[in-house]
């Protein structure tokens, strides 16, 4: 059942990003938004940027010494204006963008840095992704481009509902990395796949060699050739169904782009890849819809989106 759904979504979503090169995708959005930009309102002075000021008192831990509300009172007062503007429209206003970036950075330091790192570059230990690259595992909200162009609300959805957080609208609810050894399957996957074993250990190793090839690492050619056939075979690995036949991942499912080892969350060495296939993976991020104020949620979405520059 899952396989069918996944195949359906895949057909729609294999984005031109694959064809156009990923580098183009993330930043097209900002360019596009900028081109539609109305002239800025002249009356209001732009708020002072925060620059590199520390957000915690000197000597305090960056994660424990949180800014008091009054330290950014000016921004909080104005931040309420964000509530009635859609997240994708905030970038069209210089003034609202400035507020979002300042407030968003504080929200980030307080609520996100513990998992994604103070530098936003992710954490291997937390299996949390680098937020400064322009590849979004979860995206696809832009109607006009069929999800190809990335926009701030792609990120907002992830932050609002989380990833496999238990919220009914969470990202990744429909899919996780299937445990190919049935003894490691969770209830979700038993429901979709039962206890059928489609690949044995030697086949898992061959597929892992192909994943090493896909991710441009050292690989065993004979095994990888066999692995590629298993990867594409719907009755065996069936990997292409969720990761696309090219292995670049599917933004509707949040499946990893296997061609870029730097975006792996669970390790890109051979042993880790074998473990991912054998035992499955199910990364989680909490939902922030009840944690953040509406303006904070929008601000941090705009801020995080704006940092995805490489």
Binding site for ligand HEC (CB under 6 A): 2, 6, 111-112, 114-116, 126-129, 131, 136-138, 155, 158-159, 163, 172, 175-178, 180, 207, 211, 231, 237-239, 241-243, 253-256, 258, 264-267, 273, 276-277, 281-286, 288, 300, 304
Helix 94-111 vs helix 294-307: angle between axes, to the nearest 10 degrees? Answer: 90
* Residue 98 or 211 with smaller CB distance to ligand HEC: 211
* Residue 45 or 137 with smaller CB distance to ligand HEC: 137
Q: How far is the CB of 110 from ligand HEC (least distance, A)?
A: 8
Strand partners, 123: 128
Q: How far is the CB of 42 from ligand HEC (least distance, A)?
A: 32
* Residue 40 or 266 with smaller CB distance to ligand HEC: 266
Q: How far is the CB of 38 from ligand HEC (least distance, A)?
A: 27
Q: How far is the CB of 264 from ligand HEC (least distance, A)?
A: 3
Structure tokens at 85: 């503007």
Which residues are CB-contacts of 309 (< 8 A; sequence separation ≥ 6)? 26, 27, 132, 134
Q: Are 122 and 135 in contact (CB under 8 A)?
A: no
* Residue 103 or 253 with smaller CB distance to ligand HEC: 253
Evaluate the CA torsion angle 18, 20, 21, 27 in order and state its sign: negative
Q: How far is the CB of 21 from ligand HEC (least distance, A)?
A: 17
**Closest-approach residue to ligand HEC (CB):** 283
* Residue 98 or 273 with smaller CB distance to ligand HEC: 273
Distance CA 241, CA 172 (A): 15
Backbone angles phi, psi at 267, to 5 degrees: 100, 135
Helix 201-214 vs helix 221-232: angle between axes, to the nearest 10 degrees? Answer: 100
Q: How far is the CB of 158 from ligand HEC (least distance, A)?
A: 4
Distance CA 149, CA 254 (A): 16
Q: How far is the CB of 50 from ligand HEC (least distance, A)?
A: 17
* Residue 98 or 237 with smaller CB distance to ligand HEC: 237
* Residue 14 or 40 with smaller CB distance to ligand HEC: 14
Which residues are CB-contacts of 159 (< 8 A; sequence separation ≥ 6)? 288, 292, 297, 300, 301, 304
Q: How far is the CB of 84 from ligand HEC (least distance, A)?
A: 21
Look-up of token digits 């520390």: 54
Among 82, 72, 28, residue whose Cα is nearest residue 49: 72
Cα distances (Å, whole numbers) of residue 175 to 171, 192, 256: 9, 10, 12
* Residue 41 or 83 with smaller CB distance to ligand HEC: 83
Strand partners, 128: 123
């Amino acid at each position: 059942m899952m396989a069918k759904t996944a195949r359906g979504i895949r057909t729609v979503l294999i984005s031109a990003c694959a064809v156009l090169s990923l580098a183009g995708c993330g930043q097209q959005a900002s360019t596009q938004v900028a081109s539609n930009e109305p002239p800025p309102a002249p009356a209001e002075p732009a708020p002072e940027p925060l620059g590199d000021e520390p957000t915690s008192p000197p000597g305090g831990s960056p994660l424990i010494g949180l800014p008091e509300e009054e330290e950014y009172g000016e921004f909080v007062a104005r931040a309420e204006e964000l509530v009635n503007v859609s997240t994708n429209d905030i970038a069209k206003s210089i003034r609202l963008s400035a507020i979002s970036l300042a407030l968003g950075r504080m929200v980030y330091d307080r609520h996100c840095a513990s998992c994604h790192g103070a530098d936003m570059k992710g954490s291997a230990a937390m299996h949390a992704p680098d937020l400064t690259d322009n590849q979004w595992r979860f995206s696809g909200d832009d109607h006009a481009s069929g999800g190809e162009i990335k926009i701030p609300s792609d990120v907002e959805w992830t932050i609002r509902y989380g990833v496999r957080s238990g919220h009914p609208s969470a990202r990744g609810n429909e899919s996780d990395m299937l445990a190919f050894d049935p003894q490691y399957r969770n209830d979700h996957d038993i429901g979709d796949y039962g206890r059928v074993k489609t690949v044995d250990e030697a086949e898992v190793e061959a597929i892992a060699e192909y994943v090493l090839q896909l991710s441009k690492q050292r690989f065993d050619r004979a095994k990888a050739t066999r692995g590629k056939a298993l990867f594409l075979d719907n009755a065996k690995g069936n990997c292409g169904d969720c990761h696309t036949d090219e292995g670049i991942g599917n933004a509707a499912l949040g499946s990893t782009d296997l061609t870029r080892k730097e975006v792996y969350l669970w390790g890109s060495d051979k042993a880790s890849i074998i473990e991912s296939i054998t035992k499955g993976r199910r990364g989680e991020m909490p939902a922030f819809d009840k944690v953040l104020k509406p303006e904070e949620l929008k601000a941090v979405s705009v801020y995080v989106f704006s940092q995805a520059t490489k």
